[in-house]
Amino acid sequence: MTTIIGISGSLRAASFNGALLRAAAQLMPPDSQLEIATIKGIPLYDGDLETAEGIPQPVEALKDRIANADGLLLATPEYNNGIPGVFKNAIDWLSRPPADIPRVFRDRPVAVIGASPGGFGTILAQDAWLPVLRTLGTRPWFGGRLMVSRAGSVFDAGGNLVDEKIRGQLQQFLNGFVEFARS
């Protein structure tokens, strides 16, 4: 069984990126699963806090989940043409201490998707993740891109994916990424 950890970069309960991950969990290829993790409960990074108290428990738990998975799927919103601060903050905590980077990130297959209410999807946020992923030594998958624009028309009020074209694109994306993670 191939296990992918999916993380949404939004804390909002009705997040389009959370909905995108829930749809992805239902569309995973055979012999694979998507486990959705959260960044809720991760405090703002503070070196003084790290020195005084160590790595917060939610960070340690998420690090262990990623380290034990076959791949990582980031569902990124785009705020002001870039990476959401809360999402970058979580990744910064996950890279602490630096000695843990190889266990959590090194050569880990990673893919980035995103949904946005705007017309351009999340292309700028997805591009902004590339230097971060390179710095952490991940193995990004470049076999496809999924940028869901006008997400308000793609999901219903309950957060269900109702656009069949996007559903097909998501399934194709997941098939490719899982194959990459298995290689």
Is residue 148 within 8 Å of 116, Cβ to Cβ? Answer: yes
Q: What is the pLDDT of residue 148?
A: 96
Does the pLDDT of residue 168 top 90, yes or no?
yes
- 141: CB partners within 8 A, 6+ apart: 109, 110, 111, 176, 177, 180, 181
pTM assigned to the model: 0.97
Q: How much of the chain exceeds pLDDT 70, in percent?
A: 100
- 53-109, pLDDT tens digit by residue? 999 999 999 999 999 999 999 999 999 999 999 999 999 999 999 999 999 999 999
pLDDT category, 32, cuts 50, 70, 90?
A: very high
- For tokens 């949404």, name the residue: 8
- The domains found in the chain, sorted by start residue, are 2-182 (3.40.50.360)
DSSP string, 11-33: --TT-HHHHHHHHHHHSPPTTEE
Helix, strand counts (H, E) of the chain: 7, 6
Rounded average pLDDT over 37-64 = 97
